[in-house]
Amino acid sequence: MRAELYELADADFQRGDRFETIICRPVARVARVLVGKGERMAITEDRVRTFDSTSPATGEVVGTFPVAGPEEVAAAVARAREAAAGWAGLGFDGRRRALLAYKALLVRRTDELVALVHRENGKPDADALIEVLMIVEHLDWAARNAARVLGPRRARGNLVLANHAASVEYQPLGVVGVIGPWNYPVFTPLGSIAYALAAGNAVVFKPSELTPAVGCVLADTFAEAVPAHPVLQVVTGDGATGHALCLAGVDKVALTGSPATGRQVMAACAERLTPVVLELGGKDAMIVDADADLDAAADQAVWGGMANAGQTCLAVERVYVVDPVYDRFLARLVERAARIRPGADFGPITLPRQLEIIKRHLDDAFARGARALVGGPDAVRPPYVDPVVLVDVPLDALVMREETFGPVLPVTRARDADHAVALANANPYGLGAAVFAGRRALRIARALRSGMTSVNSVLTFAGMPSLPLGGVGESGFGRIHGPDGLREFARSKAITRQRFPLPFPMQSFDRPGYVLPAVKWAMKLRHGRAPRR
Ligand code: NAD
C-alpha cells in the first residue's frame, strides 16, 4: 500500500516527512492523494482513512487513527453540543468535582502517560513528567477558581442610575474547538481544555497529527473519570481536520501552533465570525544584565534553550548580554552546553521537516560569519541535533529572526540593558522573555515586548496557574491560564435590575420638561471641573 501511495505521489514528496508512514488500511485501494504543506494523505474510495503515528526516535508505529473529515467533525461537535447543556447545568461546584476527578485519574496514570509521550513525541521521560506536573496544577486551579472568577458578582452602580443594581457573570460559550501542537502534547492542549471545561463549555479536541495517541488518551481518561458528561470529544487527522473544525459551527477556536496556521485558522473562522484565541510561536529573548548571577543565568539559558531539544514555543532562542559580563557569561554557558548529550538530556527532533529548518538557520548563520563555540555545521544528525552556541551572528540572520525550534543558542553582546531591550524587542514575535538582573530587573521585564517575562528564571510563568499566558504580534493574541484564561472561554453577561422607580424618569417619552436641564446641571457640577494639579 505504501508503495502504491509513493507511486501516486508527485516529485515534490518530502521523504523525511512523518507522513511517509501514512498508510490506508484496511480498505482496498488509494483513490487520490491530497497535498497540503508538503504532506500527503491517502483518500480511499470508500472514505475510510487512517494514518499511523510513529516514534520519531525509532520509527515504530505507536498507533493507527482515523482521519476525521467534515462529517466526522460535525458529528463530534453535535455530540459535544448535546452534552454541553448538562455540563453547564452542573454548575461550578459539580464541574469542580468532575475536573478534580479527571485530574486524580490523570495523576494515577502518570507513568503510562509519560511513557506514551516519550514514545510518540520522543522527549525523555523527565521532560514528559514536567509536562504532566505542570498541567495538573492548572487543572486543579481552573477547577477550584472558576466559580470565583466567573460567578455572578455585584458591580458598582453610578449616580445617574442610582436606582439600579448591577451584576456581571461569565457564561459558557457552548462548544470550543481546541487544536493542539505536538511539542507539549499534554500541557499545551490541556492548558486550553481545562479552562474551557471549567468555564462550562464542551470541547472538541483535534490533537496534532504527530501525537494523536496522547490526545486520545487525554480524552479517554476524561470519559472514564466523568462518564456522565461526554464533553471532551476528540477528532484525529491533520490540518484538513483542523480546518473542518474551524468551519463546524463551534463557538470559539483555540489554536496552539505556528503563525502560518494561525492565519489560516483565523481566515477560516472569519466565515462564521467564530472567535479565536491564537497561541503561536515565539523567538524568546533572555537578557543578562551586569549585576546578574552569571552561573544561574548560564544554567537557565542552557535549560531554557535546549530542554526538549529546543522544541518549546517559550524556549530561549536569543541571549543578549551586556558588555561588562559578556565574556564571563559566555565561558559559563559554553562549559554547560558542551556537557549536554542529545538522546539523553533531550530527545530527537519530533518533526523531520524541522531538521531542514534548523540546518538552514545554521548554514545561513555560518555563511554570514557566525562562529560556533559549541557544536558546528554538522550539528544536525537526524533525528538528533547537537547543542549549538553561536556568537558573532548578524542581527538579520535567520537564527535571530525566525523560530528555530532546535537546541541552538545565539549569544549577542549589548552595550547596556537598554540596548539589550531594544535588540530583544526588534522582532515580530512577542511570546515570553527572561531577565537575569538585580537592580534593574523589573524595569527591564516591563520594557520587554512580550506576553510574559520571568526574572532570574526561565519559563516559570507557564507553570503558574494564576497567571495569563499568551503573546503579542506574531505570537498571537488572547490568553489562556489564570483568570484571563477562564474568561477567554466565557462571555460576559451584564444585568441591571431596577430597585425602585424614579419620580422623574429620564428614559421615557413622558419625561417632565425639567428633568434634562436638571440632569445637565448635575453633570456639569460633577464632571465639569478639570482636576486640580
Ligand atoms: P502547526 O501550526 O503546524 O500545527 C498546529 C495544529 O494545527 C496541528 O494540530 C495541525 O494539524 C493544525 N493545523 C494545521 N493546519 C491547519 C489549518 N489550516 N486549520 C486548522 N488547523 C490546522 O504547529 P506545530 O508544528 O504542531 O507546533 C509547533 C508550533 O506551535 C510552533 O510555532 C510553536 O512555537 C507553537 N506553539 C505555541 C505555544 C504557545 O503557547 N504559544 C505552545 C506550543 C507550541
The larger pLDDT score, comparing residue 506 to residue 43, is at 506
The pLDDT-based confidence of 420 (bands split at 50, 70, 90) is very high
In testing the pocket of ligand 1, which one of 35, 261, 469, 477 has its CB within 8 Å of the most ligand atoms? 261
Q: What is the pLDDT of residues 246-261, one digit of tens each?
A: 999 999 999 999 999 9
The pLDDT-based confidence of 48 (bands split at 50, 70, 90) is low
The pLDDT-based confidence of 503 (bands split at 50, 70, 90) is confident
Atom of ligand 1 nearest to the CA of 238: 11
The larger pLDDT score, comparing residue 325 to residue 57, is at 325
The pLDDT-based confidence of 288 (bands split at 50, 70, 90) is very high
pLDDT above 90 (res 291): yes
Mind telling me the catalytic residues?
Answer: 279, 313
Q: What is the pLDDT of residues 364-373, one digit of tens each?
A: 999 999 999 9
Q: What is the pLDDT of residues 307-331, one digit of tens each?
A: 999 999 999 999 999 999 999 999 9
Q: What is the pLDDT of residue 10?
A: 30
Measured in degrees and rounded to the nearest 5, phi and psi for residue 122 equal 100, -15
Q: What is the pLDDT of residues 101-123, one digit of tens each?
A: 999 999 999 999 999 999 999 99
The pLDDT-based confidence of 504 (bands split at 50, 70, 90) is confident
Indicate the SS3 state at residue 365: helix
Single-letter amino acid, residue 220: D
Average pLDDT over residues 446-468: 98
Q: What is the pLDDT of residue 47?
A: 54
What is the DSSP pairing of strand 454-455 with strand 433-436? parallel
Average pLDDT over residues 131-158: 97
Q: How far apart are CA 225 and CA 101, in angstroms?
A: 6
Other residues' Cβ atoms within 10 Å of the Cβ of residue 495:
12
Beta carbons within 8 Å of 346's beta carbon, 6+ residues apart: 123, 124, 127, 306, 307, 308, 309, 310, 340, 407
Q: What is the mean pLDDT of the chain?
A: 91
pTM confidence score:
0.90
Q: At what angle do helices 239-246 and 70-89 cross, to 10 degrees?
A: 50
Q: How far apart are CA 352 and CA 363, in angstroms?
A: 17
- 499 burial (CB, 10 Å; 0-12 / 13-18 / 19+) is exposed
Across the strands, what pairs with 365? none
Least confident of 29-38, 87-96, 199-208: 29-38
The larger pLDDT score, comparing residue 270 to residue 507, is at 270
Other residues' Cβ atoms within 10 Å of the Cβ of residue 45:
11
Ligand 1 center from residue 239 Cα (angstroms): 9
Ligand 1 center from residue 253 Cα (angstroms): 13
Other residues' Cβ atoms within 10 Å of the Cβ of residue 155:
13
Q: What is the pLDDT of residues 338-348, one digit of tens each?
A: 999 999 999 99
Q: What is the pLDDT of residue 175?
A: 98
Alpha carbons within 13 angstroms on the beta-carbon side of residue 243 total: 11
Q: What is the pLDDT of residue 493?
A: 98
Q: What is the pLDDT of residue 157?
A: 87
Are 391 and 371 in contact, with CB atoms under 8 Å apart?
A: yes
Ligand 1 pocket, residues with Cβ under 6 angstroms: 179-184, 188, 206, 208-209, 238-239, 242-243, 246, 256-258, 261, 264-265, 279-282, 313, 351, 403, 431, 471
Are 96 and 226 in contact, with CB atoms under 8 Å apart?
A: no
